[in-house]
Structure 1
C-alpha cells in the first residue's frame, strides 16, 4: 500500500472582478448595477466585507446577517429568486409586463414581503440573531453597534474590526480570554503597563481602570509592530505620545508627533479656518523615521514636501489602440476597468462582445458594440422625452406617468437590496 498525501483548501475568496463574473453567470445584476452592488457590500457603514488588496473578505456582521436571512427569509437570498426578479424587471422596462400587478403581488400577495415580515418577525430572537456560531469554536461571538466581541464570564472582549472570522481560531480565543498582558511598571509613575486588544487592534494602557481613573491613558501600537515584540522601554516611549516637537517658524504654532488608527503621524496646528473650525495639517511618518524620536527639523522637512492627494489617479493608459473611428476620426481604444476590459470612444464605453478578446476584436465589431451602446442611451433619453410630452398633453396622463416612473424606481431599489444580500451569501460560502 502506498500512502498518498492529500491537502484540502477552502475556496478562494472573491475579488470584485470574479464576483461580477459569478453574478453574470447567475443572471443577477446588470452592467449598470454592478458598481452599486460592490459599493453596498464594501460600504464601511454597513460592514459586510472589507477590501484587502483586491480581495473581498467577509466580516462577522456579514455572517450574522446572512444567517438571519437564510433562517427566516430564505427567498431573499435565493439566487434563482433574485435572477427571476431581474428578468421581470427587464420585462417591465421593455413594457412586456405591467408593473402594478407585479408590485402588488410582491409586497401584498399571500406570500408577499409584507406578510412574511409580519408572520416571522415575532419568531426572531434579537440576541440569537446577533450571535455567530463558527465551526471548531465553542465560544459565543456576538455583534454590537461597535463591532464583534467574545462573550465571557469575565466580561466582553472586543475583536479587531479588521479581523475576519476565518482568522479566529481556538488558540487566539484562549489568549484573548486570558486577558491583557502586563509588560511591567512605568519607571516614573509606578503604574502597570498592559498590552490590550481593542476594535482597532492592539494598544498599550497605562494604569488600571478605576472610579478615580475611569479613562486610563492608552496609545495604539504601530501597525507594523507585533504586540509580542513590544518591550517595556518601547512601551514607555510610545506612552509619551503625543510629543510636542516645537513650534513652526512661520506660524508660531505647535507641531506634535502621535499615533492614530492608521499609524504614526505629525500634525501642525494651524489655528482656526475662515469658518472658525480647527485647521490642522497632517503628514504620515514612514520608516526609517520613528514617531518616538523624530525631531522638529525632520518634521519641518516633511511639511515642506508636497502633500500626497489620496485617491488621485492619472490618465488611464489603453491596453490596445484600435485606431480612428470611421465616422469622426476620434480614437477607439480598449482599457482595463474594475470589471474587465472595455471599448471606449469619446464618452461611450462598451463591453467586449462574447466570442472576442482584447487581442482579436476588429474595428468593425468594436464600432457595432459602441453603436449598440450609444443606441441604448438614446432610447433611454427618448423615453424621458416622451414622458415629458405626455405631461404637456394632459394632466391625467402626466400623473399616471409620474406614478409609473416612481414605481419603477422603487422596484429597482428593492431589487438592488436583494442582489446585495444574495451576494453576501456567496461571500460567506467562499470564506
Structure 2
C-alpha cells in the first residue's frame, strides 16, 4: 500500500512508519473476521471494474480506498470562526459563521480517487471566508432571516444503541445482538420504524433498580464486570470462586468466610467481585431489600395535576399501563410513546366516557341498548346482564367507527348482525353477513370471503354474495407499514419516492424500483437527490439474477424384497383306532 501511495500521489503522502490501529472496543471478541487486504500490490478500482459485476466493483473500490487511506498522512487545514456584533433599534444582535481550508489533503486524496476532477472534489470540502480583522466594521450587502429549530436527540436505533454500548465499554460484539433482542422480547422497548421506543414497563424497571440497586445499573459497574469476565475467559481468574463471591459475598454460602482461590493454579487474586460489595453479595443484598420495596410506588409515574388539583399518574399494571386520577382509571392505548403522554393527553383520556352509555330502548324487544367499553375496545349491548340468565347480545364496532360517533340507529344496525342475506337457490344453504376480528365477511357453510367495505354488511344481496363466494380465496396479507419519509417525485418514473423499512433494512422506492440504502446513508437525513441517485443506480444494475438450485435427484426406490411365506405344514391327523 505504501509503495502504491508514493506512485500515485507522491512521497509527501506516505508517513515515516506504517500505521497500526488498535481495537476500538476494549478486549473485544470480534463478531466476525475482518477484511484483510493481502498481496504485494493492489489493482486500482477502474482496472477491476471490467472483470467483475457492478456491486463487486463498488465493494472493491470501498475496500481499496479505505486500505490506501489508512496508510496515508493526516489531512491538514485551518478552521476559522467569525462573530459579528451589530447594534440595532431592537437591541444587540450577533451573527456567526465558520470556514475551513485544506492546506494538505492527506488521506482525503484517496477518497476522491476516480472522480473526473479530484481537485474540484477537494475544493467542495472547503468554505472560504474573506480576510477580516478583529474590530473591523464590515458592511452588509443583504440580510436574510432564517428560522432554526433545535431538535431533541434522536431515539436510539439498533445500530446507534450498539455504538453507545461500545463507547461505554458495556457488552462485547458477540453479545450485542442478544442484548437488543432481550429488551425487545421483554417489552422494555418497541420499534417505531427503525427507532427503539421505551415502554412504560421499562421506566418502572429502571425506577426499581435505580432506587434499590443503583450500582447494578451503573455503567462503570457493568464495564468493570465485563473486564473481569474477560479475565475469566482468558484464564486469569477462575469462574467458580468469582461467582460464589459475587452471589454470596466474601463470607461464602455458609457465612464462615475464607478467601477463595480464584486465580489460575489456585492463586488468590484481588477481584472486585464484579462491583458487588465483597462483604454482602447479591443474595443478601436482594433479601435485605425485599421488604423495603414498595411495588405500587415503583410502578407509578407522575404526570401532573387535574383541574381539580388531584394527582394524575401512570400505573404499570398486570394487563398494561393505565392512567389514574382519584378513583377514575383508563387504559393507555397500545403503542403510546411515553413522551406523547402529556398532561393534556392524560386529561383527554380521563374525560372520555368510560362507563355504560344508554342509547335508548329497542322498539322490538323493549330492552335497553348500551354503548360499553371492554378490554378489546368499544361495543354495543342489548339488555342487562342478569344472574342466572343468558348473556345479552353484543356486537363490536366496525373497523372505522369511533365510540363518540355511535347513534341509537347505528347501534341497532350493529345488533342486527349476523344478518341472513338469503339462501343459495342451488342448494338452499343460508348466506350470512357478519363482522369479525378481521373485518366484514360473508359465509356459506364452510366457505367465507371478506367484504371490501363495512357498509356491504347491510346492503349485499344474494346475487352479489354468490359472485363474491365464486371468486378464489385470497391469502390474507398484513397491511403495509406507512412510509418513514416522503422524498418527492422521481424524475425518471414520475412516481412519488418514499423511504421504507423492510425485511433487509431501509430502502427507497418509487413503486416500481426498490433500492437499499448504503452503509453511509442516514435514514433521518437522506435527501431527494440521494434517493434519485440510488434508484438510478439500481435501474442500471438491472434485475437481480438468482442462481437456480439444481433439482434434487430423487433417490431410486429400492424394491422391497418379498419374503416368501413359509408354508405351514398341516398337523398330521392321527389315524383313528380301528374298531375291533
Which bin holds the TM-score, normalised by the shorter protein? 0.5 to 0.7
CA distance in 2, matches of 1:184, 1:132: 40
2:196 aligned to which of 53, 56, 70: 56
Task: Confirm or deny that 1:14 pairs with 2:156.
Answer: yes
Task: Confirm or deny that 1:99 pairs with 2:239.
Answer: yes
Matches within 5 A, 1:85-124: 85-109=225-249, 110-124=279-293
Secondary structure, in 3 states, of the residue corresponding to 1:139?
A: strand
Matches within 5 A, 1:94-173: 94-109=234-249, 110-135=279-304, 138-151=311-324, 156-168=329-341, 169-173=345-349
2:397 aligned to which of 212, 216, 221: 221
Secondary structure, in 3 states, of the residue corresponding to 2:314?
A: strand
1:258 aligned to which of 426, 435, 443: 435
Find the counterpart in structure 2 of residue 237 from structure 1: 413
Q: CA deviation at 1:182?
A: 4.7
Find the counterpart in structure 1 of residue 183 from structure 2: 41
Indicate if the aligned counterparts of 2:439 and 2:454 stay in contact, CA closer than 8 A: no
Indicate if the aligned counterparts of 2:440 and 2:454 stay in contact, CA closer than 8 A: no
Secondary structure, in 3 states, of the residue corresponding to 2:245?
A: helix
CA distance in 1, matches of 2:350, 2:385: 23
Indicate if the aligned counterparts of 1:203 and 1:219 stay in contact, CA closer than 8 A: yes
Q: CA deviation at 1:292?
A: 5.1
Indicate if the aligned counterparts of 2:440 and 2:453 stay in contact, CA closer than 8 A: no
Indicate if the aligned counterparts of 1:143 and 1:149 stay in contact, CA closer than 8 A: yes
Unmatched segments (≥5 aa) in structure 1: 271-280, 312-334, 341-351, 354-431
Q: Deviations over 1:142-200 (max 9, x none)?
A: 33322233446656433434444444424324324664555555454444444444444
Secondary structure, in 3 states, of the residue corresponding to 1:307?
A: coil
Identify the structure with bigger relative contact order (alpha carbons < 8 Å, sequence gap 6+): 1
Normalised by the size of structure 2, how large is the TM-score? 0.43
Q: Deviations over 1:119-157 (max 9, x none)?
A: 111101233233332356722433332223344665643
Indicate if the aligned counterparts of 2:434 and 2:442 stay in contact, CA closer than 8 A: yes
- Compared with structure 1, are the counterparts of its residues 298 and 77 closer, same or farther at alpha carbon in structure 2 (3 Å cutoff)? farther
Q: CA deviation at 1:104?
A: 2.0
CA distance in 2, matches of 1:241, 1:222: 11
Indicate if the aligned counterparts of 2:449 and 2:473 stay in contact, CA closer than 8 A: no
Secondary structure, in 3 states, of the residue corresponding to 1:134?
A: strand
CA distance in 2, matches of 1:284, 1:84: 58
Q: Deviations over 1:348-377 (max 9, x none)?
A: xxxx89xxxxxxxxxxxxxxxxxxxxxxxx
- Compared with structure 1, are the counterparts of its residues 210 and 294 closer, same or farther at alpha carbon in structure 2 (3 Å cutoff)? same
Find the counterpart in structure 2 of residue 305 from structure 1: 473
Indicate if the aligned counterparts of 2:188 and 2:198 stay in contact, CA closer than 8 A: yes
CA distance in 1, matches of 2:389, 2:296: 32
- Compared with structure 1, are the counterparts of its residues 337 and 242 closer, same or farther at alpha carbon in structure 2 (3 Å cutoff)? same
Matches within 5 A, 1:23-422: 23-43=165-185, 46-109=186-249, 110-135=279-304, 138-151=311-324, 156-168=329-341, 169-176=345-352, 179-209=355-385, 211=387, 216-243=392-419, 257-260=434-437, 263-264=439-440, 270=446, 286-287=452-453, 290-291=456-457, 293=459, 296-297=465-466, 299-300=468-469, 304-308=472-476, 337=504
CA distance in 2, matches of 1:108, 1:93: 22
Indicate if the aligned counterparts of 1:263 and 1:284 stay in contact, CA closer than 8 A: yes
- Compared with structure 1, are the counterparts of its residues 32 and 288 closer, same or farther at alpha carbon in structure 2 (3 Å cutoff)? farther
Find the counterpart in structure 2 of residue 391 from structure 1: none
Unmatched segments (≥5 aa) in structure 2: 1-89, 94-144, 250-278, 480-501, 508-518, 521-580
CA distance in 2, matches of 1:79, 1:65: 16
CA distance in 1, matches of 2:217, 2:245: 19
How many residue pairs are counted as aligned between the two chains? 308
Normalised by the size of structure 1, how large is the TM-score? 0.55
CA distance in 2, matches of 1:268, 1:27: 63
